[in-house]
Amino acid sequence: MELTFYIAAAVATIATILTITRYNIIHALLYLVVSFLAVAVVFFTLGAPFMAALEIIIYAGAIVVLIIFVIMMLNLTHEDVDKEKAWLTPRVWVGPAILSLVLLAELAYIILAPDTQPTEALVAVDARVVGMSLYGPYMLGVQLCGILLMAGIVGAYHLGRQKKKVVHRFLQPKEGRSAAI
Amino acid sequence: MTPAHMEAALLLAGVLFMLGLISVLIRRNIIFMLISVEIMLNAAGLAFIVAGSKWVQPDGQVMFIFILTMAAAEVSVGLALILQIYHQLKTLDSDAANLMKG
C-alpha cells in the first residue's frame, strides 16, 4: 500500500508538470487524464474507494470530455500551438514559479515539522457511511449543490447561446459587433 | 497507515496545488487557465480526503463530493464564457479581453 501510494504520487506529480508545460491543448488534456487517474489511486490507498470511482467518472470522464468538445468546436490549428510557444517564454514563467516554490517549501516545512503522532492502522471509510452522512447532517449542502448545478446549466445555456444569424445580406447589421471590439 | 504516508499525501496535495497555481500565473491561453483551476480544485479535494482518512470520518469525502459538484458547474460556465470570448475576439489570449465592454 505504501509503495503503491508513492508510485501513484510520483506519477501524478510528473503528469501534472507535463500538463502545464505542453503547448498543444490536447496533449495537455491527455496528461491531465493520467494525473487524475493517479490521484484516484492515491484516494484508493487512503481508504476512499468510492471517491476514487467518482474521481475517474467525473473528473477524468465528464469534465475532460467537456473541455475536449469545446476545443474541437474552436477549430485550433498549428498556428495556435506556435503562438502558445511564443507566449510561454522563460522570462514569463521563472518569476511566478520561484515565488510559488517558496510557498510550497513553507507548506512542506509545516507538514513535515517534527511532532509525535501515534501510528494507526488504515481504516477505510466506505460509501455507506458517506451516504448516511450526506443525506443526514449534510442534507442542506446536497440541496445547495442541486441549486448550484441548476444555476450552472442555466448560466452555461445563457452564455453559450449564439446570436441568430441573418441570412439575407441586406438584413445584416452594419459591422456593429466587430467595430465594438 | 503510518503518519509519513499521511504527511506525504498532504504534501502531494500541496505540490499539485502549487503546480496549478504556477500554471494559472504563467499561461496566457484561457483554456489552460481553466485546466489549471481544475488541477487546483482537485488538489484541494485530495487534502479533504486525506483529512477524512486521518480521522476516519466521512466528512472529508462529503466535502470532496461538494467540490466535485462545484468543479462541474464551474467548468460548464467557464467553457461557455470561453466560447463567447472566442467568438467575439477570435483569439484565446486572455490579455485580449481586457476591455470591459462587449
Q: Report the number of distinct structural domains present in chain A.
A: 2
Query: What are the structural domains of chain B?
Result: 3-91 (1.10.287.3510)
- Residue A167 touches partner B, C-beta closer than 8 Å: no
Q: Are residues A131 and A78 in the same domain?
A: no
Cα torsion B11, B57, A61, A8 to 10°: value is 40
ipTM above 0.85, yes or no: yes
Q: Are residues A130 and A108 in the same domain?
A: no
Contacts of B58 in chain A (CB under 8 A): 125, 129-130, 132-134
* B102: helix, strand or coil: coil
Compute the distance between CA of residue B54 and CA of residue B5 in angstroms, rounded to an integer. 10
Per DSSP, B95 falls in state: G
Nearest to A62 among B11, B72, B77 (CB): B72
pLDDT tens digit at each of 181 positions of chain A: 788 889 999 999 999 999 999 888 888 999 999 999 999 999 988 888 899 999 999 998 999 999 999 888 888 778 888 888 888 888 878 888 888 888 888 888 878 877 655 556 677 888 888 899 999 999 999 999 999 999 999 999 998 887 766 667 666 665 555 544 4
Question: Which range of residues forms the domain containing residue A136?
Answer: 126-160
